[in-house]
Chain A
Amino acid sequence: MRVTVKLFARLRDIAGAPELARDVTPGSTIGSVWRSLAQEFPELGPYERSISSAVNADYAKMDYVLSDGDEVAFLPPVSGG
């Protein structure tokens, strides 16, 4: 199945794209998508403990199980205001 990965701020800079399409196996979680991205882009690794994640524009935890077509977002620490 296929998911869309959205990346913001410095995470987007590291990956060089705001959005990536990734084929994942059924049962994949947000965490498993993150780990494979971090292998692909090692500079993402240090963000493991400080990122937040969302699915279809709602906050979701790393153990959330994804469905085909989901939009997964990885968010570095925020700095709005």
Chain B
Amino acid sequence: MDPLAIGPEPLNLPGVVSTVAGDGRDGAVVTFLGLVRNHNAGRSVRYLEYEAYEPLALKAFARIADEIRERWPSARLALHHRVGRLEIGEASIAIAARSPHRGDAYAACRYAIERVKQIAPIWKREFFEGGDVWVEGATADPDDLRARAEAERVACA
């Protein structure tokens, strides 16, 4: 299993954690699972469909891992994102961040999810009671330093 991946298979959090296996120096792994919620913006959500530009998404994940190594040199990242139809309660993203101390692991994990939402070429289509809509969030610009600084601010808050 690769530490960075995207595909239709259900996510396996222990598998994701195992891809950041340590060498005994590390004292913390922080994980995050993003789940499909049954409500959004006042709508009753039935299910979601995710699509991605997969080769570019993998490069975006690698970029996020590089940014984490720059900012928290001892931390390591694993990140899997799912695509296709996801039912309520299923996981769309699994992240594991590992480091010698918990502070860096928490920060790196939070940073990773913030950056995914900023720069990963992935889209969710929400099917709700009465219709469906493409959710449109951030304009993806990996060179936008203000966005990167904002992700870092949130991660270290």
Chain A residues with CB under 8 Å of chain B are: 6, 8-10, 13, 50-52, 54, 57-59, 73, 75-81
Contact = CB atoms under 8 A, between A and B. Distances in A.
Given A8-B53, A81-B93, A54 B121 contact: yes
B136 to A, nearest CB: 4
A81 B116 contact: yes
Contact of B137 (A8, A54, A78): A78
For chain B, give the interface size range.
Answer: 20 to 34
B123 A8 contact: yes
Most buried by B among A9, A10, A77, A80: A80
Contacts of B139: 50-52, 77-78
A76 B134 contact: yes
A77 B137 contact: yes
Contacts of A51: 139
Contacts of B119: 78
Nearest to B142: A59
Contacts of A77: 136-140
Contacts of B34: 81
Contacts of A52: 121, 139-141
A8 B51 contact: yes
Interface string B38-56: 0000000000001111011
Given A10-B136, A52-B139, A59-B140, A79 B56 contact: no
Given A8-B51, A9-B51, A58-B56, 8 more contacts: A8-B121, A8-B123, A59-B140, A78-B120, A81-B92, A81-B93, A81-B116, A81-B122
